[in-house]
Copies of this chain bind each other. A is one copy, B any other.
């Protein structure tokens, strides 16, 4: 945890946009499409054309996964839950952070063996592969998963 916070401090990024959405799976597509549009605009300014589609899809899918995890792992007692999303950048790197008040979790979970036909457990694996770097932090009872990718 301490180590995570230090790493976070080594990553001073400028947050330019924030959202707070209901913790309801029907908002996942709004969150993921918005993330895709932000990535489109960001990479249109500073990105290489051929990598742009891949860059935008990475944010679309990573936010869909992180948002769904926030919704499906919410503590049942809490009402009026919200999922917070923030977009930050530094040079050609775009970061999206997804935060919730869920129980703490281990972000390093591995995907189960595909040949056993697992129906769950792919989300964090996808996020880690789509992004250049993923940081988890737990602070003040909130989980924050920060996902960073370079548009260059």
Contact = CB atoms under 8 A, between A and B. Distances in A.
A41 B26 contact: yes
Interface residues of A, number: 16
A22 B16 contact: yes
A149 to B, nearest CB: 18
A29 interface: yes
A21 interface: yes
A52 to B, nearest CB: 16
A11 to B, nearest CB: 19
A49 interface: no
Contacts of A22: 16-17
Interface of A: 16-22, 26-27, 29-30, 33-34, 37-38, 41
Contacts of A21: 16-17
Contact of A37 (B16, B18, B29, B38): B29
Contact of A33 (B18, B19, B20, B37): B37
13 contacts: A16-B21, A16-B22, A17-B21, A19-B19, A19-B20, A26-B41, A27-B41, A30-B34, A30-B38, A30-B41, A33-B33, A33-B34, A33-B37
